[in-house]
Structure 1
Amino acid sequence: MAMTVMDWLNLIGEWSEKLARRPNDVKKDGALRFGILGAAQIAPQALIIPARSHAEVIVAAVAARDKRRAHAFAKKYNIPIVHDTYDELINDPALDCIYVPLPVAMHYEWALKALQAGKHVLLEKPSVSNAEEARALFEHPVLQSPNAPVLLEARHYQFHPAWHTFLSLFDPADVEEANVRTAIAAGLFPADDIRFKYELGGGTLMDLGTYNLSALRGIFGAEPTSFVSASPQPSSNDERCDIAMEATYDFPNGGVGKLSCNLGARVKYEKGKGSWWAWLFQDWPDVVADMPPWLTVKLREMHGVEEDMAVTTQKTIVMNNFMGPHMWHRIDINTTTTYRSPNNTIIKTETSTESKKAYVWPGSQGGDTKGEDWWTTYRYMLEGFVDRVKGRKGSGAWVEGDDSIKQMAAIDETYRKAGMVVRPTNKVLSGAN
């Protein structure tokens, strides 16, 4: 499953070429004005840079708890307005939309305040801390009116054409097994990072693993019927948080889904397994494991008859770099066909691989569906968000509120299966002092 040297060279080449063609659009009248809650590191990638090429988006304001940091952030990214408080930003009548990249434990409170102020909300993943918060937010009366503001959980990869091309290659009912793996080398995030603080909604399943679990749910097109197993690796900073998680799920069609996510990957060596370099670099940060993220889908065998021979066809579909397909990706459709004689003797076996890529929507040069091959997943997501606010059909890619609720329910249940506590409910909802 690992990328070859040529794959990496192609990735660098393709991405460099696309960046060279990226323009800054002149803003249109009626462009949506965004405010950002917090000077978060994800904000440039998720909103500020994508907004530069969107004629209907202006990043107009920012607020942070540290005012000096807010001013430095605004100066760096040419944001004209710095508000003193989150409340001041949310209540700014000149703003149409609020982007919420705060620590997860703060999502519910501030997303709800923004919605109640009549603002559309782009909410970083995971949407909230647990299923209780998700139901309270996405089913809130403020979202039920005919002219309700738009609320979107920012699972950006689900807006890219590559993801939808991948899903179009199989029927969820035919999936026998799906496996999604993501990993980041140890050392990128310090032990005291907010990702490993329970009170802030920390845990790898809440962060990197959100992609794994949502991908499994998308592949099967259904919710797990059974949470078979979950094995966490507790963080050294807070044992209530997982630095890694492996889990297995049963789905309604009888298929099995597996995930593995790790924010502290290290080289592991078991005697008799692996290569010599794994022994040599035992417990070093693993900079090659599962890079880029990949997923594989094994379909059920298909049986037929051809000239008195029994024919069995097995397909496995692999998507490389499903989380960041804009940089580079490849979808491999591997087919193995076995021919057997009437007495079940194998006569011959044929294998083939067909590869696909999709950087734009089919027919994206006309109509409501837009796209460019240099658009990132975040840029596609921003297009979808603006289309929804403007009442346009667009590509149709979206994360519904019910999906976000089910996602958090699955995360909660995985933690319970792992013997870990669910992330705490915000005191605004729980009524705690």
Structure 2
Amino acid sequence: MMFSTIHSLKRLYTTIFDPPVAVKSSDALRFGILGAASIAPQALIVPAKSHHEVFIAAIAARDIKKAEAFAKKHCIPTVHKTYDDLIADPQIDCIYIPLPNGLHYEWAVKALSAGKHVLLEKPSVSNATEAKSLFRKPLLSRPDAPVLLEAFHYTFHPAWQLFKTLFDPQDVETVDVINSLVAGFFPLDDIRWNYKLSGGSLMDFGSYSVSAVRSIFAAEPTGVRDVTYRPMPAGFDQECDQAIYATYDFPNGGTAKISVDLQARGGYWFPALTKNWPSFANSLPTLTVKLRSKKADSQEGYDMYLHKTIVVHCYVGPHFYHRIDVTTTATIKDTYLANKIVKVEDKKEHLKAYKWPAGEEGKKGEEWWSTYRYQLEEFVNRVKKRDGSGVWVEGEDSIKQMEMIDATYVEAGLPLRPTSDTLG
């Protein structure tokens, strides 16, 4: 137990603070960052340290002093005065865009038009109209097209890929996804709740819920129902959802529920007194998948049915910690006594995966690699025209992602996030 704890702490420290620094190759991809966003260090700067083919070369921000301070802190050699200047820099190969959601479309289009590869933070854009315009740009169909990726980093991690091998999407009966953040983690005037910048809980933490549900069913929903939301408090943007809850129907007859709350409160004893206390319950993003019961075996007078439940703890950030709990329930029934239950047995497994299984061609990784490091590996592989692990987020997938988010907002009675003026 002591050794396991020390090993985990060492892995976490390496992942977050001190990854090994790789000697950069002469053909390393030179990245420029648009905006001094707080997500940039963990999403790109730290992962890039250990990649010999990635060099963080430049940054630009609306406030040049902020950009200069950010560059100094993270040892970025070049600071450009404007986003346009950075995109025009002939020394830059790739652009990372962690700007507010409402600015994604404009700057992704500009970067792609300049021939730059684009790593685009999720959600990719503000709505499905923008998504169709962006991901179906004719320039992306050219033989020498730049690479464009919506950064759903968790999907690139071996833990998520292991999880998906545990079931057939056609057998999924129900999915429940809970993404919750304690109240106060983000201030109420944060850009996440600015409608004009395409804010809202569904556009933030909720985008992971939508992505996960779509991935589990390997299909798009046939309908959205039972959508409710909690608006921002009086005095704040009423067109933004502080929390949202939705149920979806899928083609195989299964259903999915998502619960997203960026200001979680309550859940304690004496609710009259504690309802406004910040809630730490459900702090780890968790999803539960229940599969349909299947007849597994028959013997003289008895039938066995198997029912499987899979719970993934911390599916969004499995590099910090995760656990996949698989419970298989075997129910034995007496065939001749109206299917009377004779015996019920549970078999439990606890699975983890921090790296790919040994010997799988094209799949590289280390136990300390974060989801972002795995994602960066595949981004570079795609730019360098290498096969890699095969994990990717296709453009059409990003379009369908935004269509599901739009449909959820429509059912909730909230306006779609606004379309960029730059979309002609």
> Shorter-chain TM-score: which interval?
over 0.9
Residues 1:358 and 1:102: Cα distance change in structure 2 (over 3 Å):
same
Aligned match of 1:116? 113
Amino acid at match of 1:234: P
Correspondent of 2:172 among 171, 175, 191? 175
Alpha-carbon shift at residue 10 of structure 1 (Å):
6.8
Percent identity reads: 57
Equivalent positions of 1:152-171 (< 5 A) are 152-171=149-168
Aligned match of 1:239? 238
CA contact (8 A) 1:11 1:328 kept: no
What whole-Å deviation, never above 9, does each CA across 1:356-404 have from its counterpart, x for those lacking one?
111111226x743200000000000000100000000000110000000
Aligned match of 2:348? 353
Alpha-carbon shift at residue 22 of structure 1 (Å):
3.0
Alignment partner of 1:137: what SS? helix
Residues 1:32 and 1:277: Cα distance change in structure 2 (over 3 Å):
farther
Alpha-carbon shift at residue 325 of structure 1 (Å):
0.5
CA contact (8 A) 2:217 2:250 kept: yes
The alignment's TM-score, normalised by the length of structure 2, stands at: 0.95
Structure 2 unaligned residues grouped into runs of 5+:
none
Equivalent positions of 1:132-151 (< 5 A) are 132-151=129-148
Correspondent of 2:325 among 325, 332, 340? 332
Aligned match of 2:418? 424
Measure, in 1, the Cα distance between the counterparts of 2:206 and 2:253.
23
Residues 1:268 and 1:257: Cα distance change in structure 2 (over 3 Å):
same
CA contact (8 A) 2:177 2:209 kept: yes
Alignment partner of 2:388: what SS? coil
The alignment's TM-score, normalised by the length of structure 1, stands at: 0.93
Alpha-carbon shift at residue 306 of structure 1 (Å):
2.8
Aligned match of 1:323? 316
Measure, in 2, the Cα distance between the counterparts of 1:380 and 1:425.
32
Amino acid at match of 2:381: D
What whole-Å deviation, never above 9, does each CA across 1:212-239 have from its counterpart, x for those lacking one?
0000000000000011221111112211
Amino acid at match of 1:256: T
Residues 1:71 and 1:322: Cα distance change in structure 2 (over 3 Å):
same
Amino acid at match of 2:345: E
Correspondent of 2:20 among 9, 14, 23? 23
Alpha-carbon shift at residue 144 of structure 1 (Å):
1.3
Structure 1 unaligned residues grouped into runs of 5+:
1-5, 270-275
Correspondent of 1:299 among 269, 291, 303? 291
CA contact (8 A) 1:15 1:374 kept: no
Measure, in 2, the Cα distance between the counterparts of 1:354 and 1:281.
37
Q: Is residue 255 from structure 1 mapped to residue 258 from structure 2 by the alignment?
A: no
Size of the aligned set, in residue pairs, is: 415
Alpha-carbon shift at residue 46 of structure 1 (Å):
0.4
Alignment partner of 1:211: what SS? helix
CA contact (8 A) 2:182 2:283 kept: no
CA contact (8 A) 2:19 2:46 kept: no
Aligned match of 1:273? none
Equivalent positions of 1:21-420 (< 5 A) are 22-236=19-233, 237-268=236-267, 276=269, 281-287=274-280, 289-303=281-295, 304-341=297-334, 342-343=336-337, 344-363=339-358, 367-420=361-414
Measure, in 2, the Cα distance between the counterparts of 1:192 and 1:10.
41
Alignment partner of 1:428: what SS? coil
Amino acid at match of 2:128: A
Amino acid at match of 1:306: Q
Alignment partner of 2:422: what SS? helix
Measure, in 2, the Cα distance between the counterparts of 1:81 and 1:401.
31
Alpha-carbon shift at residue 114 of structure 1 (Å):
0.3
Alignment partner of 1:248: what SS? strand
Alignment partner of 1:388: what SS? helix
CA contact (8 A) 1:18 1:373 kept: no
Residues 1:394 and 1:298: Cα distance change in structure 2 (over 3 Å):
same
Q: CA RMSD in A?
A: 1.7
Amino acid at match of 2:118: V
CA contact (8 A) 2:104 2:125 kept: yes
Structure 1 segments of 4+ aligned residues over 6 angstroms from their partners? 9-12
Alignment partner of 1:261: what SS? strand
Judge which range, 203-212 or 344-353, deviates more. 344-353
Judge which range, 106-115 or 227-236, deviates more. 227-236
Amino acid at match of 1:100: I
Alpha-carbon shift at residue 291 of structure 1 (Å):
2.2
